[in-house]
Amino acid sequence: MDKNDAAKSGRPASPFPVIRTIDCRAIPRWLLAGWRDCRQAGAASLFYGACFASAGWLMYFVFAQAYALFAGLTTGFLLVGPFLSMGLYDLSRRIEAGEPPELLPTLGAWRPNLANVGVFAALLAVVLLVWARASMVVFALFYTGGLPTFADVVHSVLTFEEPEFAIVYFAVGGFFALFVFAIGVVSLPLMFDRQTDAVTAAIASLLACARNPGPIVLWGACIVLLIAAGFATLFFGLVLVTPLVGHATWHAYREIVQRESDTVPVPRH
């Protein structure tokens, strides 16, 4: 909403979000608060976790014989994860507000800001498709005799028999993941909470990274480790891990971005 629209509606224009400076001690607080939300939301949280796990199983069965493409889509699954977590943000917001954490009202959490959420989702989809293609190119460059089996890839990475492949693959994937993580640290919770436009939300997220590089990098590493543990259990672990990450992300947003009620004066009548 711009200033003219705000004036017509009689409401003050939402200011640019105020980004706080945090330290690494905040991360255990986010995870603990996320765990409490998981326990309080119960089956509603597990429903979203089951959706993540089901997506992983679906990708595995569809692309089980196309390991290069599956690897790209699996990593891309991590890139679009924040968009799929909006229902979890809504559950955490409801718990925070003292409302019952019911599943049904959260299924349409994206509707109030559909246009901007759609723009952001489209950007993530483009990044996903480009990364999937880049993943296939990397495989083609290093495995000229045909696509390797999944066991071959795992063996090569763990034993470092193909160090060039591992370095290039993880460098390329890391670039895409870092880009999406940087613009998504607080952007989707911000769009959900304040109906902020996609550009403002992405800029606010980049600013959060710039002001808190150490804690943000550590937070990203924690997310990677948790999601990797979910994948290592043949996606079963995602049923619990993804709700934990989603709820914790909401609490990270609450600490990193100052509440709007603290930045906008309450009009007096």
With 60 as the cut, is the pLDDT of residue 267 above it?
no
pLDDT of residue 76: 58
- DSSP state letters, the chain: --HHHHHHHTSPPPPPPPBPP--TTHHHHHHHHHHHHHHHHTHHHHHHHHHHHHHHHHHHHHSTT-HHHHHHHHHHHHHHHHHHTHHHHHHHHHHHTT----SGGGGGTTGGGHHHHHHHHHHHHHHHHHHHHHHHHHHHHH-TTSPPPHHHHHHHHHHTSSHHHHHHHHHHHHHHHHHHHHHHSSHHHHHHHH---HHHHHHHHHHHHHH-HHHHHHHHHHHHHHHHHHHHTTTTTHHHHHHHHHHHHHHHHHHHB--GGGTSPPPP-
Q: What is the average per-residue pLDDT within 151-163? A: 66
Which has more pLDDT, 78 or 164? 164
pLDDT of residue 201: 92
| pLDDT per residue as tens digits for the range 213-228 | 999 999 999 998 998 8
Domain ranges of the chain: 63-258
With 80 as the cut, is the pLDDT of residue 147 above it?
no
With 90 as the cut, is the pLDDT of residue 134 above it?
no
| pLDDT per residue as tens digits for the range 76-98 | 565 566 667 889 999 999 999 99
Residue 143 pLDDT grade (very low, low, confident, very high; cuts 50, 70, 90):
confident
Residue 245 pLDDT grade (very low, low, confident, very high; cuts 50, 70, 90):
very high
Q: What is the average per-residue pLDDT within 133-145? A: 77
pLDDT of residue 23: 94
Q: What is the average per-residue pLDDT within 137-149? A: 71
| pLDDT per residue as tens digits for the range 4-43 | 444 444 444 457 899 999 999 999 999 999 999 999 999 9
Residue 163 pLDDT grade (very low, low, confident, very high; cuts 50, 70, 90):
confident
With 90 as the cut, is the pLDDT of residue 262 above it?
no
With 60 as the cut, is the pLDDT of residue 1 above it?
no
Q: Which of 3-7, 67-71, 159-163, 236-240 has the least mean pLDDT?
A: 3-7
With 90 as the cut, is the pLDDT of residue 69 above it?
no
| pLDDT per residue as tens digits for the range 118-130 | 888 888 878 877 8
